[in-house]
Amino acid sequence: MASTRGPSTTRILHQYYRLMASHFGPTLWWPGDSPFEIAVGAILTQNTAWTNVEQAIANLKRKKLLSPRSILKCRTKELHAALKPSGYFRVKSDRLRSFCAHLVENYGGSMVRMAKRPLPELRVELLTVHGIGPETADDILLYACENPVFVVDAYTRRIFSRHGLVDPTIGYESLRAFFETRLEADVALFKDYHGLIVWTGKDFCRKNPKCETCPLASTLPKEGPRLS
C-alpha cells in the first residue's frame, strides 16, 4: 500500500495529535535531568521497558557514574552491575561506552558542544557510533540536542499502520519521512507527538488492545486499511 499524500493526511496527523493531547495533556517528554541523561536513557531503553531503565539510571546516579568520563573510567564489573536492571547489560555497557568515548574524543564530553553541529551531519555521525541505530540517534537528536527530527518507534508503526495510514512493513526512514514531510518542523511538537504515541501505545496497544477506550478509537478503520 502506498502512503497517503497531501494536505488531507497532514490534517489527519494534526487530528491524531489533538485527540491524544486532549486525552493525556502535555507529556513533557523525554524524562531526564540533563541532555546526557537523556542520551543514556535512549541507549538503555533499546528493546526494554522504561521502568527497567529507570532503575539502571538511578543506579548510575547513586554510584556517581552519570557522566561520560566516569562511565569510561569505571570498572566493567561495576558498570554491568549498575545496568543490570535494564537488561542486555553486557551489550548496553559496550554501547554506552562507545557513545561516551565519541562524546569525549570529539566534543570534550559536552552534549552542548555536540548539539551545535548541523543536524544532517550530526545524524550521520551518530549513526557511525557502535550501538546507535536510527531510533536511538533520533531520540538523542530531538530530546537531547533539540533538533526537529521525528522519532519513529515500534508504537508509531503499530498505531499508524493499524489505522491504515502506512504499510505495516514500512521502513524506519520512510516512516520518519511520512511525518516530517507532513508536519511543520517544530521541536516542541515533535517531542510531544512522540511522547503521546508512546503513552498511547503503552496504555492502549498493550493494556487494551481492542482499542475501545483508546483516544484514537474514533478514527480507527472498521475493516482494515481504508485510506489510499
Partner DNA sequence: GACCAGGCACATC
Partner DNA sequence: GATGTGCATGGT
Instruction: Tell me: does residue 30 bind DNA (CB under 7 A).
Output: yes
DSSP per-residue letters across 178-225: HHHTTS---HHHHHHHHHHHHHHIIIIIIT-TT-TT-TTGGG--SSS-
To the nearest 10°, report the CA torsion of 155, 161, 165, 171: 80
Residue of 55, 110, 161, 219 interacting with DNA (CB under 7 A): 55
Residue 27 C-beta: closest distance to DNA, Å: 9
Q: Which residue lies nearer to DNA by CB, 66 or 129?
A: 129
Of 4-12, 39-47, 58-66, 214-222: span binding DNA (CB under 7 A): 39-47
Task: Tell me if residue 5 falls in helix, strand or coil.
Answer: coil
Residue of 135, 141, 163, 175 interacting with DNA (CB under 7 A): 135
Q: Which residue lies nearer to DNA by CB, 65 or 198?
A: 198
**54, three cell numbers:** 529507570
Q: How many CB atoms lie within 10 A of CB 90?
A: 12
Residue of 146, 202, 208, 221 interacting with DNA (CB under 7 A): 202
State the sign of the Cα–Cα–Cα–Cα dihedral 23, 24, 25, 27.
Answer: negative
d(CA 194, CA 141): 13
Site for DNA in 160-199 (CB under 7 A): 198
Residues that bind DNA (CB under 7 A): 29-31, 42, 45-52, 55, 84-85, 87-92, 129-137, 139, 151, 153-155, 198, 201-202, 206-207
